[in-house]
Structure formats: C-alpha cells, structure tokens
C-alpha cells in the first residue's frame, strides 16, 4: 500500500476533538508509527491521557506529547503576550516536528483555538501545511476551524454538541473529561 499522508481536522462545538486525535495517536503507535503530539493551549494540568502516553513513550520512544500552552486564555493568570509567545514557540516546535522526518503522525491539538484567539494566524497554519512532507499525517484540533484549513484538509469531522452534562449542573468527571 502506498503511504499518503492525510490532513485531518477535528472541529465543532461538541466534546471529543482531542479524544479522537489521541485515539488516532494510540492506533498509529500500535501499528508501529512514530507520533508527536503538541498541545497549543493545554499546559500545567496532568490529564489521564498524559499518563497513558507517558507510559507508551517509556516503552519505546515512538510517541511524544508536549503541553506547549499556558492553559486557558480567558484567565488573568497570564498576559495575552505570554500566551502569544507560548503559541509562537509551539508553532516553531510544530514546524520542526513536521519537517524533521522523525514522525509519521503529528497532532497539533487545539491549534484552531490558537488561531481563534489570535495567538497565531491562519496563514501560520497554512505555512505548516505547505511544508508538510507528502507522507506525513497531520491532525489539527479545536473549535472554529477556519474555512481555509477545512479546504486544505483531506478529512474533516465536526463534533456537534447535542447534550452535555454541564448543562444539568454535573461537573467534569475525572477519567471521562480530563
């Protein structure tokens, strides 16, 4: 089978964009692919998936996850410029991961949020797509994917929220939502 790298976008207002991308990462790792995951917004928190991926990474080093962001952008904990600097560093890391030849799958988690919040531009992301080797799989996640990115993608999935437990006063559950 000829290998053809796909550009995949997970977007929409429903839950499951990162979860789907991480499921793809586990599948790829299980099939022997080398996987790099860069998270553009998440930072500092320890999620269940981090523990799993760290365990897989310890097994053979074929999977790596890095939290590049400073966390939620609507808090007073960090200034907007600090978020922009973190996103710029994540963008440079993404370019390196994409062009290095070290990975078969690169996941840019929450990169669509980074564009939405003005931390990076859609042109920055299009430049990443332009430098992608044709056999590299690339996954972009986050709400409000720009039409230009959707146009360039091979596969786009929109997660649509129908019902959410938060609407019923149920807080996020460990092992399910974080």
Can you give the pLDDT at residue 49?
A: 83
Alpha-carbon gap, residue 93 to 14, rounded angstroms: 28
- pTM here? 0.91
Outline where DSSP puts E strands in 23-136. Answer: 35-39, 63-67, 105-109
pLDDT for 84-114, tens place per residue? 999 999 999 999 999 999 999 999 999 999 9
CA 166 to each of CA 15, 19, 72, 157, 173: distance values in angstroms, whole numbers, following the listed order: 11, 18, 18, 23, 10
Provide the total of helices (H) and of strands (E) in the chain, helices listed first: 6, 6
Contact call for residues 97 and 38 (beta carbons, < 8 A):
yes
Can you give the pLDDT at residue 172?
A: 85
Can you give the pLDDT at residue 73?
A: 53
Can you give the pLDDT at residue 10?
A: 98
Burial pattern 87-102, b for ≥16 Cβ within 10 A else e, equals beebbebbeebbeeee
Can you give the pLDDT at residue 81?
A: 83
Alpha-carbon gap, residue 34 to 101, rounded angstroms: 10
Q: Nearest Cα to 24, choosing from 36, 41, 40, 39?
A: 36
Low-confidence stretches of the chain (pLDDT beneath 70): 43-45, 71-78
């Amino acid at each position: 089978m000829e290998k053809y790298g796909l550009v995949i976008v997970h977007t929409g207002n429903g839950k499951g964009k990162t979860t789907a991308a991480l499921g793809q990462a586990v599948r790829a790792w299980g099939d022997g692919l080398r996987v790099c995951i860069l998270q553009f917004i998440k930072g500092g928190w320890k999620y269940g998936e981090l523990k799993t991926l760290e365990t897989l990474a310890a097994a053979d080093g074929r999977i790596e996850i890095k939290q590049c962001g400073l966390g939620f952008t609507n808090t007073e904990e960090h200034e907007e410029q600090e978020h922009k600097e973190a996103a710029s560093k994540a963008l440079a890391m993404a370019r390196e991961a994409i062009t290095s030849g070290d990975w078969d799958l690169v996941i840019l988690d929450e990169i669509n949020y980074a564009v939405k919040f003005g931390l990076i531009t859609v042109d920055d992301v299009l430049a990443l797509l332009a430098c992608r080797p044709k056999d590299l799989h690339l996954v972009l996640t986050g709400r409000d994917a720009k039409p230009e990115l959707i146009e360039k993608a091979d596969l786009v999935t929109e997660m649509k929220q129908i019902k959410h437990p938060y609407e019923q006063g149920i807080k996020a559950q460990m092992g399910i939502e974080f």
